[in-house]
Amino acid sequence: MYIVLMAGGAGTRFWPRSREDKPKQLLKLFGERSMLQQTYDRIKGLTENEKILVITAESLQAEVIKQLPDLPVQNIIAEPFGRNTAPCVALAATVINKREQGKTAVMSVLPADHLVNDENAFRNTLTTAAKYAIESQTLITLGIKPSYPETGYGYIQRTDNLVEVDKHKIYAVKTFAEKPNLETADRFLKSGDFYWNAGIFIWTTKTILNAFERQMPDLYDELPGIAEKVDSDDMSAAILKVYSTIKGISIDYGIMESAEHVSVIEADFDWNDVGSWEAVYNLSEKDKNDNALSASPAITIDANNNFFYSENKKLFAAIDVQNIVLVETKDAILICKKDDSQRVKEVVDKLRLREMDKYI
């Protein structure tokens, strides 16, 4: 099995800690390992390091190489600029197909910045999905059983067409749904046939490349230009040429939502895409007043349900404040209501408009 880590995102919702040269996947949000390193730790051993690829931004390539020294350098592949996840997947499939000389290989594709608690269950699910991908030649995605009506995730609706493989439930997919409002999310939860879309995929190279040929022929027709330069000195130039002409689109829009044969494997592990400071708060240890101090010393008086972080471990003193996020770095301070932390990316947008690039 090949495993592809998608590590090119900007992570603007974690400003001011996340910056263009150090987005979310490269940050240490939980413990002493970055999100990328924790993702690598999670999949290490499922396959050889020679079959683990990281697709990242050109500007992040050096840092990714530094953070993952066990991987072959040629497996850390740079995109010259972001084109969303469909070109990322197509690039990885092309590289794998060339290295395997056209022989069918199974590949798992996953984001590099999610959190999974039960690593054994995660590995078992990927292994089972890989087995079924070879047997069925279908496109497979992971579905997380929802525990509450989350409005920040996409959803997958299954059919009743069930196959059991090694005690894992695999269903045919009925439809994909974008991030819903609260009323719709509550309806999805109560129906019992919807999953959270984790953005994790398993398929064979033959299956996914055939899907690109059918559904995204303009992109597919450009792939031979990359294939003939794989692992050569001209590979980066070939990728640049292709990426300069193609459109950006997600793998969900470009392939999954309109593909004929899509399956969802039910995941039985705790998962979180850690999409905001509020999510970090929810996953962090808290004091008796439900304040998450994130390694910063603090004195709190009648303060509850807050998240405090200082890059320099400065002392926080908080009096009579509730539901606040306060993040301090060497050159910026963020203060917002916890349930507004998804809007942090708006700050980054304003910084760009004002050409305050040193803070981005």
Which of helix, strand or coil describes residue 270?
coil
CA–CA separation, 267 and 122 (whole Å): 8
What is the domain partition of the chain in residue ranges?
2-138+200-260, 277-359
**Which CATH superfamily is 2-138+200-260 part of?**
Spore Coat Polysaccharide Biosynthesis Protein SpsA; Chain A (3.90.550.10)
Radius of gyration of the chain measured on its C-alpha atoms: 21
Beta-ladder partners of 52: 3
Which of helix, strand or coil describes residue 359?
helix
Which of helix, strand or coil describes residue 48?
coil
Quickly tell me which residue has 């040629």 as its tokens: 74
Mean pLDDT by 10 residues, the chain (360 residues): 95 94 96 97 96 97 98 98 97 98 96 96 98 97 96 96 97 97 97 97 98 98 98 98 97 96 95 95 95 88 96 92 96 96 96 96
Which of helix, strand or coil describes residue 304?
strand
Is residue 98 within a helix (H) or strand (E), and if so which, with residue range?
A: helix 85-99
Helix/strand/coil (H/E/C) assignment for every residue in 141-198 = EEEECCCCCCCCCCEEEEEEEEEEECCEEEEEEEEEECCCCHHHHHHHHHHCCEEEEE
pTM for the model: 0.96
Residue 26 burial class via C-beta count within 10 angstroms: exposed 0-12, middle 13-18, buried 19 and up? buried
